[in-house]
Amino acid sequence: MRTQVAIIGAGPSGLLLGQLLSRAGIANVVIERQSAEYVLGRIRAGVLEQVCVDLLDEAGVGARMHREGLVHGGFEMLFRGRRHRIDMHGLTGGKNVMVYGQTEVTRDLMDARSAAGSPTVYSAANVAVHDFDTAQPYVTYDTDGPQGRQSHRLDCDIIAGCDGYHGVCRASVPRSAITEYEKVYPFGWLGILADVPPVSHELIYANTERGFALCSMRSPTRSRYYVQCALTDSVDAWSDEAFWKELRSRLDPQAREQLVTGPSIEKSIAPLRSFVAEPMRFGRLFLAGDAAHIVPPTGAKGLNLAATDVKYLSSALIEFFQEHSSAGIDHYSERCLRRVWKAERFSWWFTSLMHRFPDTAGFGQKVQEAELDYLVHSEAASRSLAENYVGLPLNFGE
């Protein structure tokens, strides 16, 4: 079998890339090691920057997002027991973010790919990428069917590695050809999803002496809440009752009164890390999304960074196949990394500001509170926060 672009990974970045290429008439096959049901069962981010919203519209999958998503023009910062609103819309000249779960983005992209009849292979085993340092790369994988396990070879012109942090694509690059930067944070996020109305119509980011908390939502009737926890904690040690009690202790009096609790429908602990792999291109292999970079979720940049990678990559590949120009793909890594490191900086700064670190108690906590006090009362500082939160323009700094 042959195609123009082999896309490894059927998460939102791989599916979005496939959708944009298909609409441009470029043949592609998506290969995913997990089942479709597993991919849709992953609970991930839910805040989309305007750049991401525009890209989903460009891909023709934005209709349900606009019907069901929640447009937010601000968010609240809670410290010293009081909330302070950051007016993103006013501070950035009218920009907003969209609250719409990553699971729903993935579902919309899956439905569009299925409707178009574009080929997707789920539950692929032993996926491997070959000869990507030549002009004839190919992918091998196995599938299980009625006649047992079968081996397949997919020849292609380009391999797009959209298979996440633990995927095969980055791992296949020779260690001497790649540089990795990583920071692991000494805590995690315990998250809970529940069918209860949100405590506030906008997100609340809380800095408290007990640790960080985030009040978010997926819809007017479904809420997503997080509390900072120890890396040694286990989900089994946290009952729903214990979670709600801890969350309530980190909120202001009004939010405590308005908090509606209920049984969790999903509960998990996510470790926090910052990670970047350079470069993002290796011959005919291109990395995108979590395969190349990870950000702590504090700044809501993970999915949005993946989307901008896909924007750069799809434009470069369309130019490569339709205009026979390599200019776009030659500059792909440089363009992506310039934006990636700005997002890494913001996510690191926001995480450092809002969380309790082992040495935060006492002096450290007071310094955090002083910086937060300056942040919410300085228009220049608030504008910088808002500008980064809604997302920098695609051509920022170019």
Active-site positions read 72, 205, 297, 301, 389
Name which of 36, 109, 119 is nearest 307 in CA terms.
109
Do the bridges between strand 28-31 and strand 5-8 make them parallel or antiparallel, or are there none, so unpaired? Answer: parallel
Whole-angstrom Cα distance, residue 226 to residue 367? 23
For 333, the token pair is 């890594």
What type of residue sits at position 136? Q
Give the ranges where the chain is alpha helix by DSSP (H).
Answer: 12-23, 36-41, 50-58, 63-68, 88-91, 102-116, 168-171, 240-249, 253-258, 302-322, 327-330, 332-354, 363-377, 379-390
Q: Which residues contact 123 (CB under 8 A, 6 or more apart)?
A: 32, 33, 34, 35, 143, 144
DSSP 383-397: HHHHHHHH---TTTT
Name which of 250, 254, 253 is nearest 225 in CA terms.
250
Give CA torsion, residues 304, 310, 315, 317, to 10 deg: 170
Could you tell me the strand order of the sheet in which 82-86 lies?
82-86, 75-79, 204-206, 213-219, 222-229, 179-194, 264-278, 293-294
End-to-end CA distance of the chain: give it in Å, rounded.
Answer: 40
For 234, the token pair is 């286990």
Do the beta carbons of residue 140 and residue 1 sit within 8 Å? Answer: no
Cβ-based neighbour number of residue 2 at 10 Å: 12
For 60-127, give the secondary structure using H, E and C.
CCCHHHHHHCEEECCEEEEECCEEEEECHHHHCCCCCEEECCHHHHHHHHHHHHHHHCCCEECCCEEE
